[in-house]
Structures are given as C-alpha cells and as structure tokens.
Amino acid sequence: MDASTLLLLAVAGMSAGFIDAIAGGGGLISMPALLWAGLPPQLALGTNKLQSSFGTIVAVRRYATAGLVDWRRMTVPVAVTFISAALGTVTVTLVSNAVLKKIVPWMLLGVAGYTLASPRLGSHERHARLAPLPFALICGSAIGFYDGFFGPGTGSFWTIACITLAGLELTKATAFTKVVNLASNIAALIAFALAARIRYDVGAVMICGQLAGARLGAGLVVRHGAPLIRVVFLAAVLAMVAKLLWDQWHHG
C-alpha cells in the first residue's frame, strides 16, 4: 500500500474519530475508506473495529475526566453488552443479516424523526422509566447483540435509550453510549482477531488519525454540550439512513 493511500486512511481515521466521539456514525467514513484502499470486506470490518476501538478509548477517557461517566452504574451494562456483542458476532457468521438491512434504515429514520419532533430531548435529566438493572439487562442484551450482529446506528439507539428510558441528559447519554460502545467494540475485535480478520499495519495508520479526531470531538462535547451533539447526531443518523437505503436500492 503506497504512502498517499496510507495518508488518506489516516485522514479518514481522524474524521471518523471526530464524528464518533460526538454522535457515532464514524464508520460511514472509515469503512468506505478501507474498502476503497482495497481491503476485502471481512478484513475491512476487522480493521475498522481495531481503529475505532482506540478512538473510543480516547473519547471515554475524555468524558470520564470531565466527570460525565458514572462508573458505579456502568459495570452491569458493560458486562451484558460485551457478552451480547460477542454472541452477535458469532451468530452473524452463521445467519444472514439480510432482514436487518431492510429494517434498520426505517428504525433510524424513526430515531431522527423523534429527535426532530422533540427539540428539548435530552436538554435536562428526567425521571427514568427503567431502573438501572433492568435497563442494563434489556438494552445491553438487545443493542449489544445488534452491534455484534450488524452494527449501523448502534450509538444512535443507545443514546435515545439512555435519554428516554434511563432519563439521562444528552451529554451524559453520549458519555454512557461511548462506554458501552467500547465494550461491544472490544468483544467484536477479539472475535475478528481470533479469526485473523485484521490488517494491523493499516489499522495502526488509522489509529493515529482516530486518536486526534476522538480527542478533538470529545473536547468539543465537553465544552459545548447538548446543542453540538444534537446537530451532529441528526446529521450522522440521516447520513446513515441515506447510505443504508442507497445500498439496498443499489444492490437490490
């Protein structure tokens, strides 16, 4: 792989890390970049998990330093999400995810519509509809498995669940989302590593960009809070919907 391709991959990693740290959806940038660079789909998926995991670690550290992560309530969600994501990754090797490809864009469109129709969504903490344990078990199992099995929109689903079911304010919901995303990323990363589906040299180049982008994005969230997240969140969700629907139309 030549130097110019590696440089573009580093820039793609930085852009993906920036978007991911704020609202999720960085895979919309990093995955096409890896495929463009000539990696086969499974190698691209594994390498993408490697580089995105490092960016997520940086974002989690930045949010934790700012006091946005309540570690006491994270143990069970992280454990459940990790196990469920691992099961999802194993399952995807056995079962087709064609049905999800058709359903998920419309679910994401619902998330975007709900966010647009609720301008004060996540502007302040509210009464939780689920206690911490049921929330961790239900959402960790469902969203964790989904992330391991298919993936697009995981961060969006977690953020909305944190706001509507756990009662978190948008900035804290984003921090919570990054922590559980890290758990599912690491579970999937282990599965890809065991299956030898990672290009470590390419991953290393993109990690350099990821670290810079994630630090910048998380820093902006800490400084500007919910208004910034809301704009980037909606843009990322709508971009994801457009890409998934395009893929359906183009390949269907």
Cα distance between residue 138 and residue 126, in whole Å: 20
pLDDT-based confidence at residue 97 (cuts at 50, 70, 90): low
Domain that holds residue 100: 3-251
Cα distance between residue 47 and residue 203, in whole Å: 6
Sequence-distant (6+) residues with CB within 8 A of 61 are none
The whole model's pTM is what? 0.86
- Total domains, the chain: 1
% pLDDT > 70, the chain: 97
In this predicted model, what pLDDT tens digit does every residue of 233-242 receive, in sequence order? 888 888 888 8
Give me the mean pLDDT over the 202-212 stretch.
Answer: 95
pLDDT-based confidence at residue 252 (cuts at 50, 70, 90): low
In this predicted model, what pLDDT tens digit does every residue of 35-92 receive, in sequence order? 899 998 888 888 999 999 999 999 999 999 999 999 999 999 999 999 999 998 888 7
Q: Which pair of structure tokens corresponds to residue 5?
A: 């391709």
Instruction: Judge whether residue 197 has pLDDT over 60.
Output: yes
Query: How many CA atoms does the CB half-sphere of 104 hold within 13 Å?
Result: 26
Give me the mean pLDDT over the 216-226 stretch.
Answer: 90
Radius of gyration of the chain (CA): 17
Query: How many CA atoms does the CB half-sphere of 231 hold within 13 Å?
Result: 6
